[in-house]
Structure 1
Amino acid sequence: MTNDQLWEAIINLAKWLNLSCSGLAKLAGLDATTFNKSKRVNRFGEKRWPTTCSLAKVLNATGFGLAEFAEKFMPKPKR
């Protein structure tokens, strides 16, 4: 799993629920800016990962388990 794949899975989940990333964050009880594009890179240009706490809150709010989330929303590796 790469950083980009995890962010894409979060975006895919939000789209599946007909939400924006901000809407998904709010549904999970997070700050609306949690999944903003600006939060995906630090001030040095290094990629940031979503926190496990944020991911857990999203999974709890949507009813998905980690394995189901990965299977349904993670992009499949190109071969």
Structure 2
Amino acid sequence: MHSHRRPACGAPKPSVRPDGHRTVIVIVVLVLGAALALTGMPVIVVAEVLATCGLVGAHLARRAPAAPQGL
């Protein structure tokens, strides 16, 4: 049978802890989702809205030029 163990030669990577910016994004998404759910929107619609906003935000973040260091 197949074994599901990892090979002994590779060490697992340590988990990456979220920094302050990622934490803020998670909190904003949770608050926005809760606010939409409390207005009576179905859970599926809330999930679609949050996913669409995330995709649009990721697209805009990739297209935006980097800000100068002084700002």
TM-score (norm 2): 0.28
Structure number, greater radius of gyration: 2
TM-score (norm 1): 0.27
